[in-house]
């Protein structure tokens, strides 16, 4: 069934001069007859569905005009104005546009604030008797989710969800057709579509892509082309005939609802309707089997012959004290590291568990999904035994998540299934009842059968269910692993659902756990495991999965395997160990120059153990290495990070020597240097680098820090009597403070050296403020300091 | 004043190494570079704020008093703009604290690379914010030019407080010191011209306006590229 929407409302209101008093939506209150007249023109042009003039009639948007308390009045007036224009078969869609704010963590508006504003608007639309809720021009999938959830809470009307994509096929917050379809279809929208921002030509391939990704009807409402400038104004260039010519192609690409957005008029709709009447709906291909999950940026299929997907299990504080303590303290640093590391190691889904006793798990789950989804673009598996924590995870996750898990245990089963339905989530079904552990595959089959029936009664389908085969400990029950493998097989024979399980339980209490887990992993894959819950960083797993994918045909002809092998072979081999007959100090020099901290410490200890003196070790190996790398730096053959690595290695070697010999035999200091970043300047990385390399060069350093007043520099100089005062400034605005500091030092009788440096400094400026030395970089600072103290001692 | 917190997704390692003063990565262990990039993602808290103002050269039309930037270069840069977006973007102070912690712990290379990764992160965040603002005006037929910051050319950083105010930077916790440095440091403010025929910017444009000829980070004209 093909349907024609209407065209633009805003431009029509503007043409009548009633768009800005104070906003387009208010025109329904102040000029209802004129709004009705616009609707009527569209009805007469052939629109099957007209849209209420309520695009921005949510309280967040109306607040800009002081109308936030008039949502009900505006919506009712707009619905009346639309109804008054309807023909016998005309339907009315209640238009719901964006709030104008991005939802946290991408913006300052909370998900709940947006959902509540939408619910108020949609309730008013439903109360005013519209036939559809049309959520349109949405640029962020999370905002669409908030609006759809609000619509489902407010009424039972069919919901049309239209996103706005760029030419790259994504919303500005990065969601494409697959992510949108995967997230919105299970939430219960009736139609998914696209509108605004592009013309029909640019939207055509995106409609085709959306039609491939969803089983639902597709709608499209293009602008009248991409805007061009005529007489200093933007105009939409496509004529009614131009737009009409695209209609058959849009329908062939999969659209069954067609309309117009910016720049379209009743004339456009009339011409487009004429073409639409000649079209037949395009046949649509069914979606593949399996369960689809999504993140903000992409979608992923589990089962149905798709690639094996690893579910990363490491964000789980159970039995991990450090992680639990950190979550308790409110810090997410370790959790973020785990998320990034698992993603890097090839996890396709991240399991998120906030199960720390004594904390508000729902609040923590919300924080975890909001913050982790901003740094890792993967679907999440919300892992909790608490329905309220599961709900928090699902609500605030910008995609379609998986629930880990639901079992046959009541009343939790029904509570979790109802949450899954409301949020469009998929569920892992665990073969447990809360009573005895089911030992045999047949018992497990029976239990999951019961849960599947309950899930279907709750409105879920095969595309929403993943079955857990329940891995138990081999050390406690010798036949458990074989029974789990048999369970996998039985599941596959009886249900069209993907399978999962937490693998590592199997090796609990045994030595060589990684090996046992790896063997079980391979055997489970062979028996039909689709989505192992596993540590993707564990030994063997990544490599075995790559190899197994060649064997089972998921990596056809081993193409991915071959290319990853080629790139691994291309990585540099580790440096060879020093030959046995090499002098230990030469080996130490090489280790320091390469920045090999552990080797340097080790070799320094060995050299001392062989009776080499601290002075000899320092001068020949450590300082020698720093001189070498300094020369290379000066010639552009080495770079600052390598110099710093060498400095670290040198200090590691020094620390060992200090420990072995105390101050005895320590080489004499080259001199004393005070360092400071001048007043008003809060940068200190450059100064810290100078400090490090000066220390590596044998100087004693007194670092006064950043934003240091001149008086403090002077006080330190009078107390410490340094050979050199080094001042640093990064900004033009703080160069004055540098000059003032030097003046103060000289006027107070300081006669030592003064060295300056910093990004905006030049040798000329340094000279003009009376600094005797100017260093353009840290190594040049060390070199000049050495020369200066040498000259002084001569 | 709207807020948009860009998602970084990754750290541009090529840029990160450039900020660290390296022309190539062959001589640093890959793991060291990867760890610094990961650290940056963990500690960065990207946040952006902006506001769009009508522009009638040479002034931004501000209710309650126009803003006339004291910069001929900016004026030339905004040629063709009918609106100007004033932006502020930051990756927050946590990443700086972490750099200092690493330095204090003797992890100099990690500190240096994390500082460089933070530079790359804030540039990436600023690019994302510009792209977002550009997409918001595209339906009006407007395109975005290149961002231009206080400190470029003859645009004095003393104008920073006004730019912060016009961008709504307080909403993302961004301010300036008495000497006009942004705090947190890893932050950017900029003006972005919006017009019917603006040419989009490219990474590295800033070097075209900078007069610090001796800068170790300076790109040659032909190095300005999409990164």
A712-758: per-residue pLDDT in tens? 999 999 999 999 999 999 888 888 999 999 999 999 999 999 999 99
Q: Are B159 and B150 in contact (CB under 8 A)?
A: yes
Chain centroid to Cα A89, Å, comes to: 46
pLDDT digits (tens, 9 = 90+) for A315-337: 999 989 999 999 999 999 999 99
Looking at A316-398, which runs of residues are DSSP E strands? 349-353, 380-383
The band of A213, judged by pLDDT with boundaries at 50, 70 and 90, is very high
Question: CA-CA distances (angstroms) from residue A688 to A394, A684, A691, B136?
Answer: 46, 6, 5, 42
The enclosing H or E element of A236 equals none
Instruction: Identify the weakest region by mean pLDDT among A110-119, A397-406, A431-440.
Output: A431-440
Taking an 8 Å cut-off on Cβ atoms, the answer to whether A645 and B139 are in contact is no
Percent of chain A whose pLDDT exceeds 70: 97
pLDDT of B200: 65
Nearest CA in chain A to B183: A682
Instruction: Locate the chain B residue with the closest alpha carbon to A166.
Output: B135
Rounded Cα distance, A791 and A769, in Å: 22
Chain B residues 95-134 with CB within 8 Å of chain A: 99-100, 103, 106-109, 111-113, 115, 131-132
**pTM of the entire structure?**
0.90
Residue B18 structure tokens: 């450039």
List the 183-222 stretch of B: residues with Cβ below 8 A of A: 183, 185, 196-197, 212, 214-216
Spatial neighbors of A573 by CB under 8 A, at least 6 apart, are none
Asked if A712 and B162 touch (Cβ cutoff 8 Å), the reply is no
Residues of chain A contacting residue B183, judged by C-beta atoms under 8 Å apart: 682
Strands B47-56 and B3-4: antiparallel
What would the two tokens of residue A576 be?
């060879």
| Chain-chain contact of B21 with A640 (C-beta, under 8 angstroms) | yes
Given a cut of 70, whether residue A487 has pLDDT beyond it is: yes
Q: What is the mean pLDDT of residues A352-373?
A: 96
Strands A291-294 and A233-235: unpaired
A639 touches chain B (CB under 8 A): yes
Query: Which residues 1-30 of B have a C-beta within 8 angstroms of A?
Result: 2-9, 20-23, 26-28, 30
Q: What is the mean pLDDT of residues A16-33?
A: 94
Nearest to B195 by CA among B134, B149, B152: B134
pLDDT at A574: 45
Contacts of B103 in chain A (CB under 8 A): 685, 688, 692
Interface list for A 591-610 with B (CB within 8 A): 595
Q: What does the pLDDT look like over A285-300, one tens digit per residue?
A: 999 999 999 999 999 9
* Cβ–Cβ < 8 Å for A190, A217: yes
What's the confidence (pLDDT) of residue A618? 86
Q: What is the DSSP string of A242-311?
A: HHHHHHHHHHHTTEEEE---TT--HHHHHHHHHHHTT--PPP-PPPPSSEEEE-SS-EEEESTTPPP--E
CA–CA distance, A82 with A132 (Å, rounded to integer): 13
Q: Which residues of A touch B95 (CB under 8 A)?
A: none
Q: Which residues of B touch A775 (CB under 8 A)?
A: none
Where residue A256 falls among pLDDT bands split at 50, 70, 90? very high
| Interchain proximity A375–B8, CB inside 8 Å | yes
Tens-digit pLDDT profile for residues B142-186? 999 999 999 988 999 999 999 999 999 999 999 999 999 999 999
**Bridge partner residues of A502 (DSSP):** A533
pLDDT at A663: 57
Candidates B94, B109, B119, B215: best to mutate against A (most CBs of A within 10 A) is B109
Structure tokens at A472: 């138990």
Q: Which of B7, B41, B171 sits opposite A174 (nearest CB)?
A: B7
**Chain A residues touching B10 at Cβ < 8 A:** none
Nearest CA in chain A to B33: A641
Q: Which residue of B has its CA nearest to A237?
A: B141
Q: Does A683 touch chain B (CB under 8 A)?
A: yes
Residue A374 at interface with chain B, using a CB cutoff of 8 Å: yes
CA dist A730 and A740 (Å) reads 16
User: Average pLDDT of A412-432?
Assistant: 97
Place of tokens 């379609």: A400
* Residue A625 DSSP SS3: helix
Q: Which residue of A has its CA nearest to B103?
A: A688
- Report pLDDT for B206: 66
d(CA A626, CA A648) in angstroms, rounded, equals: 11
Pairing mode of beta strands A349-353, A380-383: parallel
Is A196–B111 a contact, with Cβ atoms under 8 angstroms apart? Answer: no
Q: Is the pLDDT of residue A229 over 50?
A: yes
How confident is the model over A567-592, as pLDDT tens digits?
665 554 444 455 556 789 999 999 99
Those residues of chain B that have pLDDT short of 50 are 224-227
Task: Choose the closest CB to B171 out of A108, A227, A228.
Answer: A108
Closest chain B C-alpha to A295 CA, distance in angstroms: 13
For range A224-251, the mean pLDDT = 92
Q: Considering only CB atoms, which chain A residues are within 8 Å of B23?
A: 636, 639
Cβ-in-10-Å burial (0-12, 13-18, 19+) of B122 comes to buried
Chain A residues 720-779 with a CB less than 8 Å from chain B: 731-734, 737, 759-760, 762, 776-777
Least confident of A165-174, A409-418, A635-644, A763-772: A635-644
Question: Contact, A75 vs A31, CB < 8 A?
Answer: no
Peptide bond before residue B62 is cis, with ω within 30 degrees of 0: no
Substitution target in B27, B50, B143 with the highest count of A β-carbons within 10 Å is B27
Do B179 and A595 lie within an 8 Å CB cutoff? no
The residues that bridge with A195 in the sheet, in sequence order, are A221
Calculate mean pLDDT across residues A184-200.
97
Banded model confidence at residue A62, pLDDT cuts 50, 70, 90: very high
Contact yes or no for B158 and A777 at CB 8 A: no
- Name, of A154-158, A657-661, A734-738, B72-76, the range with top average pLDDT: A154-158
Interface subset of B 29-88, CB within 8 angstroms of A: 30, 32, 34, 38, 41-43, 82
DSSP assignment, residue B198? P
* Helix ranges, B20-64 (H): 30-43
Q: Do A641 and B107 touch (CB under 8 A)?
A: no
Q: Which candidate, A343, A306, A291, A304, places its Cα nearest to that of A182?
A: A291
Q: What is the mean pLDDT of residues A25-31?
A: 97
Interface probe with B: pick from A263, A373, A641, most Cβ of B within 10 Å: A641
């Amino acid at each position: 069934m093909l349907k024609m929407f209407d065209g633009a409302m805003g431009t029509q209101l503007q043409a009548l001069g009633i768009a800005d008093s104070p906003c387009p939506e208010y025109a329904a209150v102040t000029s209802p007859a004129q709004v009705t007249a616009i609707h009527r023109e569209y009805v007469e042009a052939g629109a099957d569905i007209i849209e209420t003039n309520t695009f921005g009639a949510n309280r967040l948007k109306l607040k800009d005009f002081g109308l936030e308390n008039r949502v009900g009045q505006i919506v009712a007036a707009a619905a009346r104005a639309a109804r008054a224009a309807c023909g016998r078969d005309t339907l009315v869609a209640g238009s719901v546009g964006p709030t104008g704010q991005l939802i946290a963590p991408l913006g300052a508006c909370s998900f709940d604030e947006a959902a509540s504003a939408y619910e108020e608007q949609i309730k008013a639309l439903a109360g005013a008797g519209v036939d559809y809720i049309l959520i349109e021009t949405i640029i962020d999938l999370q905002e669409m989710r908030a609006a759809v959830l609000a619509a489902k809470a407010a009424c039972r009307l069919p919901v049309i969800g239209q996103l706005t994509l760029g030419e790259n096929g994504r919303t500005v917050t990065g969601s494409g057709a697959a992510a949108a379809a995967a997230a919105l279809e299970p939430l219960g929208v009736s139609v998914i579509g696209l509108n605004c921002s592009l013309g029909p030509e640019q939207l055509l391939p995106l409609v085709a892509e959306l039609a491939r990704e969803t089983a639902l009807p597709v709608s499209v409402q293009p602008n009248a082309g991409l805007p061009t400038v005529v007489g200093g104004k933007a105009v939409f260039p496509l004529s009614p005939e131009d737009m009409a010519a695209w209609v058959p192609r849009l329908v062939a690409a999969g659209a069954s609802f067609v309309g117009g957005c910016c720049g379209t008029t009743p004339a456009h709709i009339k011409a487009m309707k004429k073409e639409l009447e000649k079209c037949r709906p395009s046949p649509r291909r069914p979606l593949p089997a399996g369960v689809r999950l999504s993140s903000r940026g992409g979608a992923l299929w589990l089962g149905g012959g798709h690639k094996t997907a690893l579910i990363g299990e490491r964000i789980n504080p159970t039995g991990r004290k450090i992680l639990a303590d950190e979550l308790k303290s409110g810090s997410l640093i370790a959790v973020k590291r785990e998320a990034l590391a698992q993603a890097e190691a090839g996890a396709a889904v991240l399991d998120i568990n906030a199960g720390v006793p004594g904390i508000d798990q729902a609040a923590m789950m919300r924080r975890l999904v909001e913050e982790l989804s901003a740094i890792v673009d993967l679907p999440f598996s919300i892992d909790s035994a608490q329905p309220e924590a599961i709900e928090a995870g699902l609500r605030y996750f910008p995609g379609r998540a998986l629930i880990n898990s639901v079992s046959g245990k009541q009343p939790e089963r029904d509570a979790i299934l109802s949450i899954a339905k409301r949020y469009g989530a998929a569920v892992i079904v665990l073969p447990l009842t809360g009573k005895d552990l089911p030992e045999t595959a047949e018992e497990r089959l029976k239990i999951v059968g019961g849960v599947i029936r309950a899930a279907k009664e709750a409105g879920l389908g095969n595309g929403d269910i993943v079955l857990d085969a329940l891995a138990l400990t081999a050390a406690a029950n010798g036949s458990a692993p074989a029974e789990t493998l048999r369970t996998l097989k039985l599941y596959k024979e009886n249900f069209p659902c993907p399978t999962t399980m937490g693998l590592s339980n199997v090796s609990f209490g045994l030595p060589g756990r990684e090996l046992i887990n790896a063997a079980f992993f391979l055997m489970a894959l062979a028996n039909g495991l689709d989505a192992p819950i596993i540590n993707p960083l564990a030994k063997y797993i990544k490599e075995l999965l790559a190899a197994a994918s060649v064997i089972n045909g998921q990596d056809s002809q081993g193409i991915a395997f071959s290319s990853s092998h080629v790139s691994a072979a291309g990585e540099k081999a580790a440096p060879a160990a020093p030959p046995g007959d090499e002098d230990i100090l030469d080996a130490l020099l090489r280790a320091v120059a390469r920045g090999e901290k552990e080797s340097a410490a080790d070799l320094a200890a060995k050299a001392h153990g062989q009776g080499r003196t601290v002075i000899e070790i320092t001068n020949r190996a450590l300082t020698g290495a720093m001189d070498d790398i300094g020369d290379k730096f000066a010639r552009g053959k080495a770079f600052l990070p390598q110099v710093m690595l060498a400095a670290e290695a040198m200090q590691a070697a020094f620390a060992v020597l200090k420990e072995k010999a105390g101050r005895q035999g320590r080489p004499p200091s080259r001199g004393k240097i005070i360092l400071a970043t001048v007043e008003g300047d809060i940068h200190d990385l450059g100064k810290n680098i100078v400090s490090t390399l000066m220390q590596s060069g044998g100087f004693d350093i007194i670092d006064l820090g950043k934003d240091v007043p001149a008086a403090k520099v002077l006080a330190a100089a009078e107390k410490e009597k340094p050979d050199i005062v080094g001042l640093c400034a990064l900004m033009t605005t703080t160069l004055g403070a540098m000059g003032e500091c030097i003046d103060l030092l000289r006027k107070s009788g300081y006669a030592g050296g003064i060295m300056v440096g910093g990004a905006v400094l030049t040798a000329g400026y340094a000279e003009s403020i009376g600094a005797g030395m100017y260093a353009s970089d840290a190594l040049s600072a060390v070199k000049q300091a050495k020369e200066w103290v040498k000259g002084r001692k001569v | 004043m709207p807020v948009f917190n860009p998602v970084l997704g990754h750290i541009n390692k090529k840029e990160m190494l450039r900020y660290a003063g390296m022309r190539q990565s062959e001589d640093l262990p890959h793991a060291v570079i990867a760890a610094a990039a990961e650290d940056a993602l963990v500690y960065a808290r990207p946040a952006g704020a902006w506001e769009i103002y009508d522009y009638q050269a040479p002034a931004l039309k501000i209710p309650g008093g126009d803003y006339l930037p004291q910069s001929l270069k900016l004026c030339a840069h905004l040629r063709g703009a009918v609106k100007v977006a004033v932006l502020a973007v930051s990756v927050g102070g946590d990443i700086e604290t972490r750099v200092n912690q690493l330095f204090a712990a003797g992890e100099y290379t990690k500190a240096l690379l994390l500082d460089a990764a933070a530079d790359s992160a804030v540039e990436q965040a600023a690019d994302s914010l510009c792209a977002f603002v550009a997409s918001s005006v595209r339906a009006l037929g407007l395109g975005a030019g290149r961002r231009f910051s206080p400190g470029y050319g003859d645009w004095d950083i003393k104008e920073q407080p006004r730019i912060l105010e016009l961008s709504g930077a307080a909403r993302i916790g961004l301010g300036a010191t008495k000497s006009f440095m942004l705090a947190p440091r890893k932050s950017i403010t900029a003006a972005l011209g919006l017009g019917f025929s603006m040419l989009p910017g490219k990474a590295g444009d800033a070097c075209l306006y900078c007069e610090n000829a001796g800068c170790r980070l300076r790109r040659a004209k032909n190095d300005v590229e999409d990164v």
